[in-house]
Amino acid sequence: MISLDQLRDLELSALTDQARVWANISNRAYASRERVTEEIATGLTDTQKSEASVAAVIRLGRLSNNYQYIHTECGLVAASLNGLSQELEPLQRKLLNALEDAEQAGFEVNADGSVRYPAVSLGDSHPPGDTVSGNSNLFSAAVGSAAALTTQNPNALIAQGIADAIASALSQATEIDEQYAKALHRLKAAEGLDVTDSTWADVSGDAAAVHGAADDVLKDNIPTDQSQTKRKEWWDSLSDEERVEYLAVYPDVIGNLDGIPAAARDEANRLFLPQLMGKLEAQGDEASLTKLDGLQKIDEQLRAGGRPPMFLLGVGDEGNGRAIISYGNPDTSRNVSAYVPGLSTQLDGGFADGTVKRAKDTAIGAREIDPSSASIIWLGYDAPLGADVATRDDAQRGAPAYQSFMSGLATTHENKDLHLTAIGHSYGSLTVGTASQQGSGMPDVDDYILLGSPGVGVDHAEDMGVGKQHVFVGAADNDLVTKAPSKGSVVGGFVGGTIGFFTGGPPGAVVGAGVGADLGDLGDDDNWFGKDPASEEFGATRFRTEDGPNAFTHFTLEAHSNYFNPEKDQMSADSIANIVAGNPEGITPEARR
């Protein structure tokens, strides 16, 4: 229990001074990490090709990891001390105000916080003085006030109020002190520092403890509920030291906040990544280990580097996992695309090894046409994994997040001539189409590319908010998803088949089902989620793709997955690259269905 003397005499400036000391250590560790990673290791890799240089780079990687650990832990200590100071300040002020009130009233305050008030003379009545103890909860305080009234001494009620204020301040200060003490006790390294996966699991717990103790005092300053423009203005207003502090304490928030520049998001997520992997490994359940597999492979790719450079714009373990990766800097590239994957996509090894490569292939192709191009894979939602692919639910939940992300890209872009392309593959095309219809839509998007689409939720290309000449469709002839029957066709076939069966037996059922299906979709240009994007009625520009293997003779759905792959469908990959690079004249057109 914090005593009256301790809270009264506490020098809050000493806490903030210590916080600055720890923040300075955190900042120096951050700078050292940057120098090791960006200057020494990179320079060695670029200039030396030998076993010794490889071994040196590995050792430098461990050193960088250690600096990152110091940066994070010391940043958490600084945040804790600052948070403790901020939360104790109003309680200390409350105590001092109560003591001042007691002095002005001529009351005596004891070391335990109880208050002695004097007797009074009220005509023939002489109510005695007494000592009252304070109560820290409302019910007890009400009982105490009622008891004070029965004394008929007006000083009793005043003294009770002062004692209650003192008790409340001390009680709250003690609770806060205990929370911070518990969090700070976690912030210690094992002897002989060796930063391992289990260490990062501890760091994740450390961060959670500090966030809980601090009641997110620092986080309250982050404009999470404001526009992307306001978020960028906030980030730009911070000093370098303040940014480093936020990166240490809230890398998960900064790294996933639309409106924060790409370089800062990448840095935040790289700092957060080992914490997240440590947390998932410690949890150890099947879902966590699945996500861990994906993150470990992404981490390997980030460490390997290469061209185009990778930017980690988002990462998380919510739902089926989150990962947003850009090949090329989207803030400095004139042409930027963001691709939304579809059915069965989740954060796992397959995503890291396969789905991510689609964005890389697009970036490489686009940069051959215009070097100022970047391509993004956006797994910022839960794509359907099973039967829910037949509903719009996942698309409707994911659309606002994609909408926000695209707006954030426009906000942080450093050039005025941004050319932004939204790409949706499979069920992801429905998510993109849904995003184009919500609220004000996506006014920053210049072009749409819809690949292997079962429908996008609108009937005409121009309904997506751009001219129909800016909506492009790839639909392989053997891609069954692009020929998903409409709901009307399914219902019509079922009704027709049922009637046919009762009127003509099995042969009648076959005929009835065919007739019913035709009547259910008279133009045969509807898909499950609306008009077929490759149809004449939809009105988009269709580009040529390879047919792909026949699903019925080859027992594969490979035709649905080849659009981005230059090795399996060069025509499609080239058209996608040309559109992304702002050169639609370079596509190979195909007649609409």
H or E element: which one contains 473?
strand 471-474
Task: Please tell me the predicted confidence (pLDDT) of residue 502.
Answer: 47
Q: Which residue among 168, 186, 204 closes a domain? A: 186
536 in the same domain as 507 = no
Residue 264 placed within a domain: no
The 10 Å Cβ neighbour count of residue 278 is: 22
Three-class secondary structure assignment of 405-437: HHHHHHHHCCCCCCEEEEEEECHHHHHHHHHHH
Tell me which residue range forms the domain holding 513. Answer: 487-520
140 in the same domain as 8 = yes
Q: Which of 189, 183, 249 is nearest to 66 (CA)?
A: 189
> Which pLDDT band holds residue 187 (cuts at 50, 70, 90)?
confident
Taking the CA atoms of residue 329, residue 332, residue 337 and residue 341 in that order, the dihedral angle to the nearest 10 degrees is 30
Residue 268 placed within a domain: no
Q: Which residue among 153, 186, 219 closes a domain? A: 186
Tens digits of residue pLDDT in 531-590: 999 999 999 999 999 998 887 776 677 889 999 999 999 999 999 999 999 999 999 999
Task: Please tell me the predicted confidence (pLDDT) of residue 520.
Answer: 44
335 in the same domain as 386 = yes
Q: Are 229 and 278 in contact (CB under 8 A)?
A: no
Tens digits of residue pLDDT in 12-61: 999 989 988 988 898 899 889 888 887 787 777 777 777 787 788 778 88
Rounded to two decimals, the pTM is 0.81
Q: Tally the C-alpha atoms within 13 A of residue 66's C-alpha that lie toward its C-beta.
A: 12
Peptide bond into 308 cis (omega under 30): yes
Residue 368 placed within a domain: yes
Of the chain, the percentage scoring pLDDT greater than 70 comes to 90
Residues near 296 by beta carbon (within 8 Å), at least 6 away in sequence = 277
496 in the same domain as 466 = no
In whole angstroms, give the CA distance from residue 102 to residue 104: 6
Q: What is the CATH number of the domain that holds 451?
A: 3.40.50.1820
Tens digits of residue pLDDT in 201-245: 788 888 887 877 765 667 788 999 999 999 999 999 999 888 988
98 in the same domain as 169 = yes
Dihedral of alpha carbons 579, 584, 586, 588, sign: positive
370 in the same domain as 403 = yes
What angle do the packed helices 393-412 and 427-437 form, to 10 degrees?
Answer: 70
Give the full edge-to-edge strand order of the sheet including 130-132: 108-109, 115-117, 130-132
Q: How many domains does the chain have?
A: 3
What is the mean pLDDT of the segment spanning 469-476? 97
Taking the CA atoms of residue 488, residue 494, residue 498 and residue 504 in that order, the dihedral angle to the nearest 10 degrees is 90
Please work out, in degrees rounded to the nearest 5, the angle formed at the alpha carbon of residue 445 by the alpha carbons of 323 and 231: 60
328 in the same domain as 465 = yes
In whole angstroms, give the CA distance from residue 447 to residue 465: 10
User: How is residue 111 written in tokens?
Assistant: 């070391």
383 in the same domain as 357 = yes
382 in the same domain as 371 = yes
Residue 299 placed within a domain: no
- Whether 197 shows a pLDDT value over 90: the answer reads no
Task: Please tell me the predicted confidence (pLDDT) of residue 210.
Answer: 81
Residue 131 phi, psi (nearest 5): -120, 130
> Which pLDDT band holds residue 113 (cuts at 50, 70, 90)?
very high
Tens digits of residue pLDDT in 321-374: 999 999 999 999 999 999 999 988 999 999 998 999 999 999 999 999 999 999
Q: Which residue among 137, 159, 186 closes a domain? A: 186
Task: Please tell me the predicted confidence (pLDDT) of residue 428.
Answer: 96
479 in the same domain as 360 = yes
509 in the same domain as 465 = no
56 in the same domain as 130 = yes
